[in-house]
Chains A and B, each alone.
Chain A
């Protein structure tokens, strides 16, 4: 096993550290022929069979790292990617970690159609995607931006609706929320720096 080194010549791939995407992403990299130890406590894991380092990062930092060419490749959810509006190259959609960004309202809410959202408060951690959706649908509403636990905001009277990521719909159901509209369909994507290094290691052809 090699040791992680601060070597600019090594190709770097960023993956989510301890999250929904982590396991399927590592499986994807293994399936491409990369051999490396599962992430221990190191943020950087070198590959045994090629000059590649795996970087374990917070997922919403990955587009930024790739965009700035600090890392060469990244695997990230499209929801995060497009929310960050990072200027990166999308190499391919990876077909795993499917999820939807949906607008949901409490079961008892009078909001039934899009037009009912006019002027209402919508809590989300995806303000950019939500704003784009509202603009396209020509609805004006107040976007309340929060980092997490979006689903509790209606019962706290912080919002009238939520715009949140859902996979199975379980969390929404547990909070008596009914999904009404899909804002964005997401899956994992492989992204590349907009300024690729000439000699980066093309692991996709392993």
Chain B
């Protein structure tokens, strides 16, 4: 290796190459951000309530049990598509109410079941959270998660 590659060549390849890839990465990020804000998500309906709902999600560290778009802890179900799973596409008001009722009914106290705490959210916070989950379910996640129809 000694003749083929000197130390200073190796160093220059490292610095030059890293800079090259970083510039490409930043460029793609800029494009992706534009895509997210125009096509990937429902930016037009990113209301104050949705943003407040996101803060409820963050303030109560929901992601430290649940995943959203597959990211977070894997102790509790995915919630990126919970609004759809609970029928929000055909009955948005029903799914909205189900989320609120679910939150109020915790913890279940059932033996042998993982427990979700009672977060004592106000009606307004519950509405915001449900709006946030409804908004999140409309993001184009490239078809993820796979939800095959149960075999039996």
A binds B: no
B residues lining the A interface (CB < 8 Å): none
